[in-house]
Structure 1
Amino acid sequence: MKESDVIHLRGMEFYAYHGVMEEEQVLGQRFLIDVDIFLKKPVSMQDNLAETVNYAEVYQVIKNCVLDQRYQLIETLAEKIALEITTGFRCSGVRVEVHKPNAPVSGILKDISVEIIREKKDESIFKFGEQ
């Protein structure tokens, strides 16, 4: 079995204005975000923040992606979050799930979400805490 360390950020809740319909863009709605950050190497025994990903910084990046821009598609929002994490942090990949629990769909459902998984393309790019 290959060793793997993953940092999970679950249930981040934001009120934002993403959507295709005019009502979504004017009234806004809740979005829930789940993110898994796959670390480049196991770091749990090193007990050193510089050797891992600072999840407080990741949270701020996600918050900025959700609140500072407006997208019609939650797929685009998920892609933007994944891009910011993979280019800004020392990780090997990311899984981003964007939930739209109050999507304007005529039917009874708990949730609509999109999930994307991206591997890091360029290992040389770091924005935060580069060592």
Structure 2
Amino acid sequence: MMTITRSEVLLKEARFYAFHGVMSQERKVGAEYTVSVTVGYDYAKAAESDTVDDTLNYAELYELVKSEMMQPSQLLEHVALRIGKAIFQKWTETAYADIQLIKNNPPMGAACAGAGVNLHLTNDKTKQC
């Protein structure tokens, strides 16, 4: 006998060209971004049924993230929170969401692969971590 104690749906390093930034030039010219999302979601039913309707469909997750990425914002923090809110609104039984949003080659005069934010959100309705 076994028990699924934790299950997650992942979207790893999805790439987008979007128009976020504090400087107006960033919002005009745009930049490349990488987004990774981990969603705590009980997919035990889908694991048994082998039916996509019983799970959080990662193709739909990608489209949700894409939609939020296409809305220009000054701060990556704001975009990450919007993504999280949209996840909880669409999949209300989500336990938590981890969102990593990286601006590749940020315009800050430093040689680095990227800079960005990590956000961990817990759904107060599910009381799981």
Work out whether the TM-score is over 0.5: yes
Unpaired stretches in structure 1, ≥5 consecutive residues: 124-131
Aligned with 1:45: secondary structure? Answer: helix
Gapped runs of 5+ residues in structure 2?
none
**In 2: Cα distance, 1:78 partner to 1:16 partner:** 13
Alignment of 1:60-75 (within 5 A): 60-67=63-70, 69-75=71-77
- Give the superposed CA RMSD: 1.8
What is the correspondence of 1:83-102 to structure 2 with a 5 Å cutoff?
83-89=85-91, 90-102=93-105
Question: Pairwise mapping of residues 1-131 of structure 1 onto structure 2 (< 5 A)?
Answer: 3-40=5-42, 42-43=44-45, 44-67=47-70, 69-89=71-91, 90-122=93-125
Where does structure 1 differ by over 4 angstroms across 4 or more consecutive aligned residues? none
Q: Secondary structure of 1:116's partner?
A: strand
Number of aligned residue pairs: 122
- Percent identical across equivalent pairs? 25
Counterpart Cα distance in 1 of 2:119 and 2:112: 21
Task: Tell whether the 8 Å contact from 1:4 to 1:41 is kept in structure 2 after alignment.
Answer: no
